Each structure stands twice: as structure tokens, then as C-alpha cells.
Amino acid sequence: MLGELKRNDLIYPNLSYRVIGILFEVWTDLGWGHKESFYEKAIAQEFDLSKTVFVEQLPAKINYKGKSLGVYYFDFLLENKIILEVKVRNYFSNKDIFQLYSYLRAKGLKLGIIAHFTRSGVKFKRVVNLK
């Protein structure tokens, strides 16, 4: 009998696994080819169903020497621990990874997940802020 494969070195493993499961659930139901906002709405519904505490389109202010440079808005903040960014494309770009890393630094958080809804399924990367 096969058990679940789980790593023991992940940050927030239970929440991470729940989020990844929700991403796959949404892709299984919706498939590929929809607008990013449709995936975000479906993901939000799944967070509600799973009683995952989340905030959508949360601002992250960027300051330099006490002056505001501007504001980022990221897709989801989950239980005040994980930032989730949702994209519709078939590849991960350095821009996406650096963008998520900037969000993590701005909010002082450790873990972010980038989810890409692709033709062949949902792909994801974890981004860790070690500072």
C-alpha cells in the first residue's frame, strides 16, 4: 500500500500541501485556457470551502528611506504565512520569481508559491525568503 510522499524540510508543510491540492482541484475542474481572474475566483471558492483564511489583492508598500516608492498587489495571502501568485502561461520566468521574492521581502514573509495554469496541468514553484 502506498502512503503519501511528504517532505520534512518544507516551510508550512500542511498549508503548502492544502494549497497545492486546491490548485490541482481547480485545474481538474476548469482545465486550461481561462483568464487569470477566473482561476483566482475558483481558488478563492476552494479556500472558502476548506476554511483556509485568505486575503485577496493585498497591497505591499515599498519604501525607500522613509518615502513610498509605490505599491505591489499580490493575488492571495494565506493565513498570514504564504503568498500565492496565479499565472496563466506555460513557463516560469525570472521576472515572476523575483516579483514574488519582492512581495515576500516587503511583507516580511518566508514562503511564496507561484502557480501556473498550463495546457498540461498546474505547475508550481515555491519561493523562499531566507532573510
Please check whether residue 50 lies inside any domain of the structure. Answer: yes
Residue 63 forms beta bridges with which residues?
68
Please check whether residue 3 lies inside any domain of the structure. Answer: no
DSSP 40-96: HHHHHHHHHHTT--EEEEEEEEEEETTEEEEEEEEEEEETTTEEEEEE-SSS--HHH
- Residue pLDDT, tens place only, 65-121: 989 999 989 999 999 999 999 999 988 899 999 999 989 998 999 999 999 999 999
CA distance 43 to 46: 5
Q: For residue 5, how many other CB atoms are within 10 A of its CB?
A: 5
pLDDT above 60 for 131 = yes
Name the pLDDT band for 1 (thresholds 50, 70, 90): very low
CA distance 130 to 101: 10
CATH number, residue 110: 3.40.1350
How many domains are there within the chain? Answer: 1
The residue length of the chain stands at 131
Please check whether residue 87 lies inside any domain of the structure. Answer: yes
